[in-house]
Structure formats: structure tokens, C-alpha cells
Structure 1
Amino acid sequence: MKTSKLSIRLLWYITPLVILPLLFLGGFTLTNVTSSTQKQAKLIVSRFVEQQQQKMFNYIEIYQSTTKLLSTSPVLSDFLNSANLERMEKTKRLGALMDVFASYSEAYPDIISINLLSPNGRSSAFYSSNLGEAPNLYPFAKQIMQSNLRQHQFMVASSAGTQLYFVQQIYSVDYELKQPRQQGYIVVQVSPSLLSTSILEAPYDNTLNLLVSIDGEVLFSSDTNLIGHYLSASEVEEIGYIADLGQLDSTVIHSIDNVERMTYSAQLSGGYFYISTIPKSLLYRSGKTISLITALIVILSVVTLPILIFIVVRNLLLNPIELLGEASHRVGDGDLMVALPEHSSDEVGILFRDFNHMIGQIRTFQRELEDYKEHLEEKVEDRTKELEETNSKLEVAIVEAEQANQLKSRFLANMSHEIRTPLTAIMGFTEQLIQHPNSPTSKQHLDTILRNSKHLLELINNILDLSKIEAEKLDVEESEVLVMPLINDIESIIEPMTNEKLLNFSTEFILPLPDKLYTDITRLKQILLNIATNAVKFTEYGGVHLKVEFKPESEKFIFSIKDTGIGMSQNELERAFKPFEQADTTTTRRFGGTGLGLCISKNLAQLLGGDVHVQSQQGTGSLFSVEVSGNFKERSYSWLNALERRRQPDNSKIHIAAVKELDAKVLVAEDNPDNQELITLLLSNWGIVPDIANNGAEAVEMALVEDYQLILMDMQMPVMGGEEATQMLRHAAYDGPIIALTANVMKHDIDNHIKAGCDATLGKPIDKELLGKLLLEYLELKNGKSSSWDALLQTEKFLQISRNYVEKLPSQLVELQKLYDKQEWESLRALAHSIKGSAGCFGFMNIHEAAGELETSLQKTQNSNRHYYLLKLTEAMRYTLSIDQPTDNSHLG
């Protein structure tokens, strides 16, 4: 309580010393801000009005002087004295006068017209810069005729706006008479451009500027709605008073509004008044704001300062004493876990540290006593915890074992069905071929065997991929992947599948798009083909759309595959990416499959730094989005442009197909007789008859005796394996290419083969196209027997096929126009698609590209450019018909 009283006494002493100066400072600031704001506003407005007054005075003075100068023109005097001259001479003098008027108009662009009036007000000569006619009568004509003044100025309001007129009387010089004779008037009409712009200038926002006549008529106004209005006589009188006063004054102009305004007025020549007004509340608003802020600061300071002083005193004195008292009380009750904060280094902090040290010593001594007493209980408690943890682990292991058993059963059931299905077809048709080797359906049976073999291989590959993914042993190889060749490969596989089912297939590129990415091309193709083939498989009507886009903020590619197939329900979507899952048994029976594709695709996409997402509606279709990281990592790339989007032919496949014989001596090291026969048969396609070695030892012996250009080496053979044989050959200085034949195609296996000395790896079962590429890469074409692509194009058979295609173009032209006239867009699109494919095969790329553009435009519901693309295609076909077909088929190059 004593401390509390002390803090209150301190508060009573300190508070007045702070509050009184603040109150004085606030009152002084408030008074000065209000006074200075008013003075500043008056100064700004008065200077502004004086500047505008001087500007308008100078403007009027210029045209008064110009009018006076024109009235003394000798040409004007000659014209006025031509009354008794002949008509031709009068006409001549009139022309000279009009030239003078025109020169004045050119010198002063604001002059609208110049009119020479006779003493009775008739127009004698009139010039107008806008080719207008002379007015019949001016509103001020009577006034100037009755006035003795030689010079007048008038501002006349009209529907076209207020006009400015300058009038100068003309007198003849007659030295015999006592006073000169009046000859007429010069009336100069001037566009008041400067007055119109000056009236819009303002020192403040919401300023109202007026130019008022002596009668109170508003001739010019910054508010155009007020032009033509009249001020009352009392208001005009008050404005005149303010002009005489020469300072800012408060007034209310009831003819305009009932707002109290601060007004400044200045009188111009001719009895006109220039008025600038601003609402009083707006003019002093900034000063009021500052005054309010100042008053608020003072009030807040008066209220908060005593509170702050009390808080400071309490924090520095009361709180530490209260903490120390509370801690002492808790220690007295037996609570030795008390600890006071030791943040400060002053006397209070030292006191708190000493108190904590004392409590720590007491706590240490007490803990040593309790350790002996609680040792037995602690051991019992530890043993109980260990038993509970062991029981928990056993329960988890039992659950996991049951789940694994269920998964194993389901896996075996699925695989039993999926593996037996293609094996049944393979074994059945093989037995038929053995029993009836010369049957007319032998080729059909062989096709069935090949198709089921590929399906079985795909199934096994999927199972192996899934097992490697689950074991986290699937590696990805990052390499440079060009976007356009990748999409071309996907299109070349999917498009024939869609054509077979009469479905539409389209590709869309969202530009800008990098031309490459860095990823595992094999796995990326596997993902895209899994999803795209599923889209074709589950779609009966409509089509499949592939869209490629790039997200620069995340540097990821998005491959979107959209179909119009059967779609999926919400429940099916939740199970879509689980292994061995399909929509239901009906889907499995109708479309087949193991349900591994989407599961593998999603896991592979995650390994490639992305993911697979799906949106679907049952009965409408599905949209799969494959997200893959570009992995640029500051590596360079360029942007893909629209001209690169056309599909490029796979030259390697063309070259392989064109090659018939290779000049090479080849050794095949293979222990399996069936595989020996198969490899020999495959090599015979290129005119190669290989030598056969049954194991690695024979292969080494034969390779050291004979000069082989290529060795196909099986990696697993008796006596000596392929890796050991390859190492021996490399040590023996054999430098020819060695290609590993193996069914083990995991990354670490391939690395071991390369490390042993192999140049490449060919997986089993052997892919004929890949074998052909390797042969082309490592062997030379046989001179005199090779049939290159260029030679193939020169054959008479190919030339005849090309001529037959050109002969069909006229009928296709007629069919195109017929379908367009009937607006059968789907049939026209199908025909354009057919023309695109055939033209590309025969090398007519102008027709191929034009047909592709027409097909793309027809895929859109609304497209106003269809007729343009049709004309482009027909012109390309007519151009091909008009030229002689080259005998060397150079159009294919």
C-alpha cells in the first residue's frame, strides 16, 4: 500500500507539469492555423483574380487597338470615297478592302468576321473567316448609333455561346468643316478563346468563375449551365461593392445557389465584372482539419499521459515488488519450481537472480532426497511403458499383415485373370498354326498372337514399374526433351487410334511455350500415352483433345487430355489412381485393362516433379491434367513460335524403311536357340546373315579370329556371361560396336553394361524399329545394293502413285465446294482431314498445311474464317494441278 501511495503522489506531481504546456501549445497552434489559412486563401484568390483581370484587359486592348488601326486604313478610306466613281473602280476598291480584311483575319486567328456598316447600319463590305453571311442587324446597332463614343465593345450571349464585338466609328477628314463627317462603322467579331479558357482556370477545386455584364447577365462561366442566367440587381450591386473593396469577402448569390461563398470581384472595361467564388466551408476545410487534429492530439495527450506515467511507475516499482512477494509466498507453501525473470541488469534484476539461486539450491537438495525414494516406482513405470509400446507395435503389425494378405490375394486374382487372357490366345492360335501351317487365316492368327504378346509385355512392364515405384527404386533420367518432337510422337500414335474409331483428335498449344524441357522422355511419353490411350479407349463418340501450356511462375508444363467418353462418378474419381482399380466390373468386361495405368502415371508424374489431376462428369467425359517440372535451373531455352507447330516427319523411320541391305559382318552371341532364330530372321530384313556364338567364350574366340563390324551380345549365357565377354574383348583391343541384349533394362543394369564396354542396350523382347536405328547408327550402307530414301522416290512405282494422287485432286475440289455450299461442316472437316494426311504422305506440304488449317477452323462452332481457309486450300490444289510434276519428287524434300 505504501508503494501504491508513492506512485499516486508521483503521478500528482508529474502530470500537471506535462499537461499545462500541452494545453497552452494546442490553443496557440489552433489560433495560428485558422488565421494563417484564411490569410493564405485570401492571398491566393486575390492574386488569381488580378492575373485574370490583367490577362483579359490585355486581350481586349489588343483587339480594340486592332479595330482602331483598321478604321484608319487608307484602303478603307479609298473605298468609302468611291461613291461617285464608276462601278468597275468601286469593285476594284472593294476587292482591295476584302484583301485587307483577310490579312487582318490571318494575323489574328480569333477574328471571326469584319463588317463595314454605313451610318444607317447597312453592311457595305463583309468578310467572314468561316464564309458566313453578314447579319441583318446587330443587337447593339441602335446603341452605337445613338452614342457619341467612337469606340465600343460588346459581349453578346447567344445559343452558339458568348461572342465578343469591337465597334469603331469612321469619320472623314474635312478641313473646311468644323467637325468631321461620319462615314460608317467597323464591326469586328472576335472568338473569345482566351476568355473561355481563362474562365475555366481556378486556384482551388470547386471554384466558380463568372464574367457578368452590368445588367447581371452571365456571359461566361466555369459552369456552362449558368451561361445566360441573370443575377439580381442587388447581387450586381453587392459584387460592385466587393470589386471596389478589393478583397475577399463573404456573400450568398441566391440566383446561383444558397451557399455561403468567399467572393473576389474585379471590374473590367465596358462595365463587366470578373467574379471568382468558392464555398466558404471548402476554402477553410484544410485549416479546420489541422485544427481538429491539433485539438484531438491535445485531448489524447491529456487523457493518456497520466495513464502512461502510472504504467511506467508500476512496471518499474510495483510489479517487481509484487512478483517477489508472490514468489516468496509460493516457496513458503512448498512450491520450489518458482523462477523470477532475470531480464534486467539493474538492482531489481540482481535481487531476482539471488532469489532464483537460493530456490535452485533448495530444489537440488530436495531432488537428491526424492531420487532415492522414487527409484523403484520409476523402474516399474518404465517396464510398463515398454510393454505397452510392444503391444501397440504388435497390433499395427497384425493389421499391416492382414492388409498385405488382402492386397496379395487381390493382386494374384487380378494377375491370374490378366495374364491368362493373352496367354490363352497365344497358346491357342500357336497350336492352330502348328496343326494347320498353311491355313488361309495364318496371317490373322499371327497378328492375334503378336497383339496379345504386346499386351502381355505391357502388363508385365506395368507390374514391374509399380513394384519399383512401391520399392522406391525407380530412377528417372533427366535429359533435354524438345517439345514439338515429343508431341509429334504422341500424335503419331494416338491419331491412328482415333481415326479407327472415327473420333476427332486435335492438339492445342497455349503460347508462349518453351521449345524444350529437361526430364525423362521415356517416362513422360509413358504417362501421356497411358492417359491418351485410355481417353480413346473409353470414348465412343466425339473426340480427344490434347492441350500443352506452360506456367512461368512455377516453370511447369501442363499437358491436358480431354475426352468426351463415359466419364466417372465422384466415387470412381476417388479410386481412379489406386492400383488395380477401374470404375466397376462392367467397365473391365467392356474395355479390359488391369487398372494399373493411372496409378503408375500419377507416381511417375510425381517423380518428374509434378502430378496428375482429373476432373470428370459421368456421361460427359474427363479432363486429365499432367503437370511436369521443366527443370530449367537457369538453363537456356527459347520460345516456341506458331510456325514450328506443324508435324515433322520422323526421318529416322523413313530412313530405316528405305534401307534394304547393310554391308556388315555381324556376330550374335545368344544361348537360346529360339532367340538365335528370331534375331537371324530380323537381321535378314537388312540383308545380314549373322554368325552365331552359343556363349560368351565362343563369342570372344570368334571375335578375335574374324573381323566383325558389330556384335549383339546377350548378357546372361552359360560358360561365360556377356559382361565378362565384353570386358575381355575390350582388353583385347576390339574397338567395334557391342550392343547388349538383355531383359534387365533397369537403370543400374544399363549402367553396368555400359561400364563393361557396351555401346548401347537393346531390351528383350526386341523392338524391330529400335534394332533398325541401332544398325543404321553403327553400320554403313552397302554400296550398289542399298535403297536409300532418295532412290525410293525415283522408282516408277512411287512416281505412278504420286501421279494417281494428283489425278484425284479435281474430284476432291468439286466435293469440297459441294460440302461447303450445303454447310455440311462435319463431312467437310472429315474430307479436309483426309486430304491433309494423304498430301503429307506424298510430300505436297502446301496442300497438307492448308487442309490442316481448314480442319482446325471447322472444329470450332463459330468461325468466320472458314471461307478464307477453304479458298487457301483450293488455291493450293489448283497450283499443284497447274505445274508439271517433277520427275525427281523434289516436293518431298
Structure 2
Amino acid sequence: MHQASFFNISLNNILTAEHSILDKARIRLLYFGLWLAFIADLALIFTSFAQASTVNTIISGFTAVLLLGLFKYLTWRPDWRRISHVLLTMVTLLNLSNVYVLVQSVSLVTIQLILITVLFSFYMLGQSFGLFYSLVNIIPVLAFMVLEYYSSYIINFKPEKVDQSLTIVSVLSNFILIIFIHSHFYGAFLKNIKQLKQTSEKQKQLNVQMEVAIQKAEKSSQAKSEFLSTMSHEIRTPLNAVIGMSNLLMMSNPRLDQKENLEILKFSANNLLAIVNDVLDFNKIESGKLIFENVRFNMGELMHNICGAQIIKAIEKGLNFSLNVDSSLKYRTIIGDPTRLTQVIFNLVSNAIKFTEKGNVWVNVNCIQDRHNVLAIHFSVKDTGIGIDKDNLSTIFEPFAQESMSTTRQYGGTGLGLSIVKRLLELQGVSMYVDTKPGVGSEFSFNMEFTVPTDVEVKKPAEQLIPVLEHPKQEQLSGNFSDVRVLIAEDNPVNVMLMKKLLSKWDITPKFAENGALAVEMVQYGNFDIILMDLQMPVMNGFEAATEIRNLADNRKSNLPIIALTASALVDIREQVFSSGMNDYVSKPFKPDELKEKMLGLLAMA
């Protein structure tokens, strides 16, 4: 509530922007109404004194003092509700004392005071108090009239004789107050309605502007996604060639010095790919279109697969790397999103290795609660690295931010890793906990719940689990492709050369189509066993070409396995691939073994 100086008498000092139009009208009514009532009361004092009416003079004098006190209180603390209650109580007592004691009759002044009470209480205090004060005034007066009708009302008090001049002054004063109250609030209501109309018109304009802004934001978001998709395709395409050619050269038994150069080339290309992937993953999360899967996976195998590649980096830096998976989880099948969990753990472990120059990196996975169909698991990644200053803990989770510029210069990176981790966990209702000390190390941990399948689980014997950490090597895929007829739809000449060289390692001589339309035509008039389909091509893109192939009259040709080769970053690329009829997809740059595995799987099912 606004407070003015105790000696304030100005109306402007008690009106604030926080007051509504009606509240300002109520305060103004009290401010001017108290003055009018005081002036009218002074007239009653002089009239009563001139007529030697002692009782009326005393009552009028007491009323004048009360009115002055309420005015002073209003200009100090504009508590219009409390003042209204005091005024209505005073008028009610005055009115009823006149009827039952002083005058002992219902006069025109009595009716006026009841009208003032009704108007004032409803306008100032609302319906509930308006009804209350109206009934408190009306019912006793009606009761008096009934008593007076059936038997003369007599008490041991001689009624005051009211002179006609005193009645005239009272009636005139009351009429002035009634007109003032009604006209004041009538003007306030009109002003309020006018303001509501103006507000409504402004709201309509704001709604129109908001719709335009939303449309612009949606177009901007779509443009951003399309831009990122295009840039992703443009960056991934040459990266596909760089990484692919590096793989081919490393498969050709290079000399030791050549192998070292190729490993550096491949490492740099993979780092660039990781940066691109971070930006694209962050865009997926921010767009709100990220969908979490619920598939079965083995926690022990997943953790070994995640850390299998990381242990090599740790060993190269001279770090001790330890993975500890709770024995109750090693052979346990659970339901969740292994892809997103991999992303979280991989980022945390990568950071731990990156920011640790010497010492240890520990990865712990412990079961903290095992209910009938729900497992609560605690994940922890701890290191003996540089640590984080407490004041910078909130900064490290912001996108494109690291603890300091010196950290960025020394260790590199986009600053998106922890931001992606935090958002992925938040989208699943999981909180990240950080325990860190500069120069000592950091521990990132979180608790996550997973559903346990209720059907019978077949546990793998211990000897079937390959201890990846102890023997980090890639499983070699086998398969004979010598008789497989492959059609590759690809318009980029570098990728064509890359695919030709790669498939020649598998004894495959593929056919090439430079656009989707030519691919459909070659399928119609040729014989193939599998199709590798690029998605962005001239004349007809990969989606349209796949749809056309699925609509061919020849069932054998319309059911050919199709694998999409995509460098696109669209959030819904997976859905688009499958909805167009393709069987699977591989993201560029792809790992040769990943493509080989998927080709073998589809050919075996054909």
C-alpha cells in the first residue's frame, strides 16, 4: 500500500499507477465526499446551535471531528476499505439512533440516509458488504414501522423536536451527497468501460502482431533447420570422402609413416564431425522434436561399448581408466533409450579424459533401487582433472560456453557437450549433480529409472560377454559379396569414386545412377539385389525414387532392399526414410563395417 507523509493533504500523493480506475474513483469519492460531508455537518452544527438543540449539536460536532480524522487518515494511508467501513457503521448507528431514540420516527432524512448507505456500500465495498449494510439499515427501520403501526412505540426518552430549517439543511445535504456519489461512480464506470474498450482493441492488435511474430518465428525456425540441414549435407559430404578415403588407405596396408599421417587425418576429420554432430544434436533438442525411444538393451554391454573406444584415449594420455558396473546390472536387460544414454555418458567421459592431464578417470554404474518392474540406477563419472570453480558451475551448462577463454584455447571444443547432456537429462526429468574442486577433480552424477521387461529374460553366460575394456578391438564382419548386384544412386563424383573403391574391397562391382529418376529406370530394366540410395539428388530425390520403386508392378523389384545414405540433419529424417519405403539408413560419413553389417542383414532377409 502506498504511504504518503503524515502531514500530506494532497490527493495526487495518494494516487498511484498501481490503483485501478475504480480504486482511484473510490479514493477521489472519499477525498471530496468527506469534505462535502464536513461542510454539510458544519451547517447542521450552526443550525442546531441556533435552535438550542444540544443533542443534535453534540452529535453533529462529534461527526465533524470523526470526518476530519478520517480525511487525515485517508491522506496519510489511502485505505479506502477501512474508511468505508467506519463511515457506513457511523451512518448506520446515526440513522438507527435517530429512528429509535432521538426522533422516534421515520422521516425523509431517514430514507435518504438509507439510500446513501445502499449506494455507498455497493459502490465502495462490492455486492456482499453492500447487501449486508443495506439490510442492517432497512430491516430495523421496517421493524420500527411495524411496531409503530400495531402499537405506539414508547421508550423512556423524550424525542427531540426537529425544526423545519434543520430538516431542510439535512435533506439538502443528503441529496447533494446522493447525487455526488452516483454521478462520481457513473463517470468512473463510463471511463472504465472506455478503457476496457481501448484495452480490448489494443489486445486485438497485440494478438495480430503476436500471430505475425509466431509465423515469423516458425518460418525462422524452419529456415534455421533447413539451413542446418543444408550445411550439414554440404559439410558431411566432403567429410564422407575424407574419412572414407582415410579408411580405404588404412585398409591398403600403408607404411608406418603413412599410417601415422592417415591416423592424424582421420582423427582431425572425426573431430570436425563431432563438432558438426554437437551443433545438430543441440538444434534437435532446442527444436523440441527430440523423441526418446523405449527399446531393450543390456546395461553391461552398453557401458563396455561406450567406454571401449574411450579407454584407448585415456591410455594414450597415460591415464588410469576404470569402469565399474554393478554385478546385478551386467547381464540385466532393461528398457530405455540407449542412444541418448550413450550420448550422455560419452560426453561426460570425453570431458573427463580431455580435462585430466594425469591421474584417474572412474566410471561407476550402481543399482540403488530394484523394484518389481523398475530399476533406479546411479551413474557417476569422476576424474582427477583441472576441476571447476564454484562460481562457474552455472556457466559450463550454457550452450557454446566453457569455464573460461583460457580453457577453450587450451582444450578446444564447442562448449556444447555439457549443455546437450543437461538438456537430454532434463527432458527425461533427471537432474545432474556436480561435485568439483579446482585442481583436484570433478564428479558428474545422476540417477535414472528404467523399466524392466516382465517377460522371461534369457541371461547371457559370463563367458559370452567380451571384456571390451581389456581387449579393445573391433569385431570383424564376414560375408561373401562376390555375386551381389548393387545399385548406387549418387550424384556426387567424389562419393561415387569412394563407393567404387570401398565396394571393390568387398569384391563388388556396383552400378551407378546419377539421379533418382535414372535409378528407377535402371531398376525397371535391370536386375539388382540391393540399392544404396542417396537422398539429395537432382531430377528426382531419394525419397521419391524409393516410392516409385515400391510402386513397381514386378514384386521382386518393388521389394528390393533399399538403404538410404544421408548427410542430412533434419530431425525427422528417420521417419521420412521409413515412410518412403526404404528399409534402413546410414548417416554420412559412415563406418564401412556399419554399412557392411546392414547390407548383410538385409540380403540375408531377402
Q: CA deviation at 1:385?
A: 6.4
Counterpart secondary structure, 1:550: strand
Conserved? CA contact 1:506–1:545, under 8 Å: yes
Residues 287-346 of structure 1: CA distance to partner in whole angstroms, max 9, x if unpaired?
xxxxxxxxxxxxxxxxxxxxxxxxxxxxxxxxxxxxx9999659955523474899xxxx
**Match 2:485 to one of 665, 675, 685:** 665
2: CA distance between counterparts of 1:491 and 1:709? 37
Conserved? CA contact 1:558–1:627, under 8 Å: yes
Matches within 5 A, 1:308-707: 329=93, 332=114, 333=117, 335-336=121-122, 337=126, 339=128, 372-379=186-193, 381-382=195-196, 442-510=258-326, 512-513=328-329, 515-552=332-369, 555-631=375-451, 635=454, 647=466, 654-656=475-477, 658-659=478-479, 661-707=481-527
| 1:765 matched residue in structure 2 | 589
Q: How much identity, in percent, do the aligned residues show?
A: 33
Residues 192-217 of structure 1: CA distance to partner in whole angstroms, max 9, x if unpaired?
xxxxxxxxxxxxxxxxxxxxxxxxxx
1: CA distance between counterparts of 2:181 and 2:486? 87
2: CA distance between counterparts of 1:729 and 1:503? 53
2: CA distance between counterparts of 1:538 and 1:681? 39
Conserved? CA contact 1:484–1:645, under 8 Å: no
Residues 51-77 of structure 1: CA distance to partner in whole angstroms, max 9, x if unpaired?
xxxxxxxxxxxxxxxxxxxxxxxxxxx
C-alpha distance 516-738 of structure 1, shift in aligned 2 (>3 A)? same
Q: CA deviation at 1:629?
A: 3.3
C-alpha distance 774-338 of structure 1, shift in aligned 2 (>3 A)? closer
Q: CA deviation at 1:520?
A: 2.1
What amino acid does structure 2 have at the position aligned with 1:674?
Answer: V
| 2:15 matched residue in structure 1 | none
2: CA distance between counterparts of 1:441 and 1:599? 39
Counterpart secondary structure, 1:630: strand
Residues 496-533 of structure 1: CA distance to partner in whole angstroms, max 9, x if unpaired?
12222222222223454482332222221111111101
| 2:544 matched residue in structure 1 | 724
Counterpart secondary structure, 1:674: helix
Q: CA deviation at 1:366?
A: 12
Conserved? CA contact 1:578–1:599, under 8 Å: yes
**Match 2:564 to one of 717, 724, 740:** 740
| 2:600 matched residue in structure 1 | 776
What amino acid does structure 2 have at the position aligned with 1:523?
Answer: R
C-alpha distance 375-766 of structure 1, shift in aligned 2 (>3 A)? same
Aligned pairs, number: 412
2: CA distance between counterparts of 1:378 and 1:707? 81
Q: CA deviation at 1:729?
A: 1.5
C-alpha distance 747-464 of structure 1, shift in aligned 2 (>3 A)? closer
Q: CA deviation at 1:607?
A: 2.4
Q: Which of 1 and 2 has higher RCO (CA within 8 Å, sep 6+)? A: 2
C-alpha distance 592-678 of structure 1, shift in aligned 2 (>3 A)? same
Which ranges of structure 1 fall in alignment gaps of 5 or more residues? 1-323, 343-350, 359-364, 409-414, 782-893
1: CA distance between counterparts of 2:439 and 2:89? 78
C-alpha distance 340-586 of structure 1, shift in aligned 2 (>3 A)? closer
Q: CA deviation at 1:694?
A: 1.0
Q: CA deviation at 1:374?
A: 3.0
| 1:166 matched residue in structure 2 | none
Q: CA deviation at 1:635?
A: 4.9
What amino acid does structure 1 have at the position aligned with 2:404?
Answer: D
2: CA distance between counterparts of 1:728 and 1:639? 42
Q: CA deviation at 1:621?
A: 0.7
Counterpart secondary structure, 1:498: helix
What amino acid does structure 1 have at the position aligned with 2:345?
Answer: L
When Rg is computed on C-alpha atoms for both structures, the one with the higher figure is 1
RMSD: 4.8
Counterpart secondary structure, 2:432: strand
Conserved? CA contact 2:280–2:569, under 8 Å: no
Residues 792-812 of structure 1: CA distance to partner in whole angstroms, max 9, x if unpaired?
xxxxxxxxxxxxxxxxxxxxx
- Asked if 1:709 corresponds to 2:529, the answer is yes
Residues 655-693 of structure 1: CA distance to partner in whole angstroms, max 9, x if unpaired?
41x447553111111111111111112212211111111
Residues 396-425 of structure 1: CA distance to partner in whole angstroms, max 9, x if unpaired?
x9xxx9xx9xxx9xxxxxx9xxx9xx99xx
Conserved? CA contact 1:547–1:561, under 8 Å: yes
- Asked if 1:754 corresponds to 2:578, the answer is yes
Which ranges of structure 2 fall in alignment gaps of 5 or more residues? 1-87, 96-112, 143-178, 225-230
Q: CA deviation at 1:648?
A: 5.0
1: CA distance between counterparts of 2:281 and 2:190? 56
Counterpart secondary structure, 2:393: helix
1: CA distance between counterparts of 2:195 and 2:130? 35
Counterpart secondary structure, 1:455: helix
What amino acid does structure 1 have at the position aligned with 2:295?
Answer: S
Conserved? CA contact 1:560–1:626, under 8 Å: yes
Q: CA deviation at 1:727?
A: 1.5
Conserved? CA contact 1:664–1:780, under 8 Å: no
2: CA distance between counterparts of 1:463 and 1:593? 11
Q: CA deviation at 1:615?
A: 1.1
C-alpha distance 444-504 of structure 1, shift in aligned 2 (>3 A)? closer
Residues 249-288 of structure 1: CA distance to partner in whole angstroms, max 9, x if unpaired?
xxxxxxxxxxxxxxxxxxxxxxxxxxxxxxxxxxxxxxxx
Q: CA deviation at 1:572?
A: 2.3
What amino acid does structure 2 have at the position aligned with 1:550?
Answer: C
C-alpha distance 653-777 of structure 1, shift in aligned 2 (>3 A)? farther
Q: CA deviation at 1:573?
A: 1.6
Conserved? CA contact 2:402–2:415, under 8 Å: yes
2: CA distance between counterparts of 1:367 and 1:679? 91
Conserved? CA contact 2:489–2:534, under 8 Å: yes
C-alpha distance 666-497 of structure 1, shift in aligned 2 (>3 A)? same
Residues 562-590 of structure 1: CA distance to partner in whole angstroms, max 9, x if unpaired?
11111111122221111122222222222
Q: CA deviation at 1:771?
A: 0.6
Q: CA deviation at 1:745?
A: 5.0
Matches within 5 A, 1:827-842: none
Conserved? CA contact 2:289–2:571, under 8 Å: no
C-alpha distance 590-340 of structure 1, shift in aligned 2 (>3 A)? closer
2: CA distance between counterparts of 1:391 and 1:661? 67
TM (normalized to structure 1)? 0.40
C-alpha distance 500-442 of structure 1, shift in aligned 2 (>3 A)? closer
2: CA distance between counterparts of 1:705 and 1:639? 47
Q: CA deviation at 1:606?
A: 2.0
| 1:95 matched residue in structure 2 | none
2: CA distance between counterparts of 1:574 and 1:758? 44
1: CA distance between counterparts of 2:255 and 2:321? 38
What amino acid does structure 1 have at the position aligned with 2:352?
Answer: A
1: CA distance between counterparts of 2:440 and 2:458? 35
Counterpart secondary structure, 1:579: coil
TM (normalized to structure 2)? 0.58
Q: CA deviation at 1:720?
A: 1.7
C-alpha distance 775-439 of structure 1, shift in aligned 2 (>3 A)? closer
1: CA distance between counterparts of 2:517 and 2:127? 84
| 2:60 matched residue in structure 1 | none
C-alpha distance 763-542 of structure 1, shift in aligned 2 (>3 A)? same
